[in-house]
Amino acid sequence: MSRRSFLGTGLSVAGLTPLAPAVSRRTADPFELGVASGDPVPDGVVLWTRLAPRPLAEDGLGGLPPGRDIGVEWQVAEDERFRRVVRTGRATARHANAGSVHVEVDGLRPGREYFYRFRADGHLSGTGRTRTAPAPGTLPALTFAAVSCAYYEHGYFTAYRRAAERHPGLIVHLGDYIYEDSAEGDQPLPIVRRHSGGMCLSLAAFRRRHAQYKTDPDLQAAHAAAPWAVIWDDHELENNWAGRTPGKKTPGFAARKRAAFRAYYENMPLRRSTLRPGGRLRLTRRLHWGDLATFHLLDTRQFRSDQPCEDGLRTGCDARLRERRALLGADQLAWLDAGLRASRARWNVLAQQIFLAQRDHRLGPGTELAMDGWDGYAAERRRLTGSLLASGARNPVVLTGDVHVAHANELRADFDDPDSARVGVELVATSVASDGDGYHDPVAGAAVRAENPHIAHIDQRRGYVLCAAGPGELRAEFHTVPYVTRRGAPAAVSAAFTVPDGARSFGNA
Ligand SMILES: [Fe+2]
């Protein structure tokens, strides 16, 4: 969407075609993948769709006719029935971009709810609900959801729908939006539904995988409910990749990475500024929610050193302590530190992928740590917690995904010293579907907490985290669904924690 192709503002502009729900029977519905919005700022938001009348087409192009670019009209209105349209325009869904459309709307009012839709080939899309960020200097309350890890083969995406039903102002996705491989044969878990195609090794395969996920009605409902802020973890490319090192020792990693990055951009409501030369993506960015919250979105995959000691759970791995091992990398860490120092936000939310608190997996004597999480990068964790303390940034709250288990953690300058400085809190969202139904074992959870006193909560069921942030406190609720191998599970709050302003710890733990 270039500025030149923008048509004007409001229905009063002459020559503007209102998007009447005229449905052509001549062509298949190109809006099978739904609509989405993301990265809100005070005067705008990104609108997304991708035309794909046949989402599972093997070439990854969703059944778009070869070489044909398609004009797409879009509308933004203040009301759900589009009586008060405030912005409208025209974009092009290009065949070369797999029919994806990213519209960066501006000229909207801060802190407002809006509705949007698209029209193409005589078909009207579903309606999405979105929001602009509040103006700087204001402190309006925000409810946001944190979600992560949605393995399509392991279960239904009920947690996405239940999150959408709470009408959050923002949904933060912490990675593993797709899974590149198939669960077939490698886990003792039921396969609830199958991926089309095997392991993603090509651009066509990644595009098709994203398209298959986007056909899910619960995922579509969550995208249509609120703007999203997305970051990836490993499975958007492949399990446990680290910087230039593939997770699996299959050749062609650099090309596979470019393909995965490109497909990710095409399928997410991201700004064009995230695209970088050479097919790279920069997901490191900030979203400001007035003076209430700043979301520092981090990338813990692209710039890291390889996992030490051959990855996995390890005892006595000294390599994990090496000073020069990078996780965020020096540039990203400096960017974060500058942003923390400059922040005027009441809540400084770090959205990142992997488990930050130390976690000893071995009960009793001895220590066993996960090398893919921050425990594998101890010096860099010290640099991060040092920055969180020294910057004076108010109320650090870290959002984490990856481990498929809900946790509430208190972050310490030294996890082995309960009297060391309080850094902030970590809220770990469990998975939406990965690892199937899961379970809750309070006795085992208590044993883990006894081993790791800074861990206040642990739950192996599926769900999401819902946070209500206001000037005086942040309340985090862990919403849990009892099963995902069947559709339609109810969600219930299984635990809740309050973080008072200034406490850097849970008020009720
Ligand atoms: Fe995952």
CB distance 166 to 147 below 8 Å: no
Q: Which helix (DSSP H) or strand (DSSP E) does residue 446 occupy? A: helix 442-451
Q: Which fold has domain 3-131?
A: Immunoglobulin-like (2.60.40)
State the average pLDDT for the chain. Answer: 93
Residues forming beta bridges with residue 276, ordered by sequence position: 280
Residues 6+ apart with CB under 8 A from 266: 50, 97, 98, 100, 207, 210
Q: How far is the CA of 176 from the centre of ligand 1 (A)?
A: 5
Strand 142-147 and strand 170-173: pairing? parallel
Measured over the CA atoms of residue 462, residue 328, residue 172 and residue 51, the dihedral's sign is: negative
Domain chopping of the chain, boundaries: 3-131, 142-500
* Tens-binned pLDDT, residue by residue, of the chain (509 aa): 333 333 333 333 333 445 544 555 568 999 999 999 999 999 999 999 999 999 999 999 999 988 889 999 999 999 999 999 999 999 999 999 999 999 999 999 999 999 999 999 999 999 999 999 999 999 999 999 999 999 999 999 999 999 999 999 999 999 999 999 988 876 688 999 999 999 999 999 999 999 999 999 999 999 999 999 999 999 999 999 999 999 877 789 999 999 999 999 999 999 999 999 988 999 999 999 999 999 999 999 999 999 999 999 999 999 999 999 999 999 999 999 999 999 999 999 999 999 999 999 999 999 999 999 999 999 999 999 999 999 999 999 999 999 999 999 999 999 999 899 999 999 999 999 999 999 999 999 999 999 999 999 999 999 999 999 999 999 999 999 999 999 999 999 999 999 999 999 999 64
Q: How far is the CA of 357 from the centre of ligand 1 (A)?
A: 18
Q: How far is the CA of 68 from the centre of ligand 1 (A)?
A: 36
Give the three-state DSSP class for 495.
strand
Q: How far is the CA of 70 from the centre of ligand 1 (A)?
A: 35
CB distance 369 to 311 below 8 Å: no
Q: How far is the CA of 84 from the centre of ligand 1 (A)?
A: 41
CA atoms within 13 A on the CB side of 197: 23
Q: How many CB atoms lie within 10 A of CB 447?
A: 14
CATH no. of 142-500: 3.60.21.70
Q: How far is the CA of 214 from the centre of ligand 1 (A)?
A: 17
Q: How far is the CA of 78 from the centre of ligand 1 (A)?
A: 37
Q: How far is the CA of 12 from the centre of ligand 1 (A)?
A: 48
Q: How far is the CA of 401 from the centre of ligand 1 (A)?
A: 7
Q: How far is the CA of 183 from the centre of ligand 1 (A)?
A: 12
> What are 248's two structure tokens?
């699996």
Q: How far is the CA of 449 from the centre of ligand 1 (A)?
A: 22
Q: How far is the CA of 435 from the centre of ligand 1 (A)?
A: 9
Comparing CA positions, the residue from 314, 145, 330, 110 lying closest to residue 225 is 145
Q: How far is the CA of 434 from the centre of ligand 1 (A)?
A: 6
| Residue 216 CA: distances (Å) to CA of 24, 289, 407 | 24, 29, 27
Q: How far is the CA of 264 from the centre of ligand 1 (A)?
A: 16
Q: How far is the CA of 150 from the centre of ligand 1 (A)?
A: 7
Q: How far is the CA of 96 from the centre of ligand 1 (A)?
A: 30
CA–CA separation, 361 and 196 (whole Å): 35
| Residue 159 CA: distances (Å) to CA of 140, 444, 463 | 26, 24, 5
Q: How far is the CA of 239 from the centre of ligand 1 (A)?
A: 9
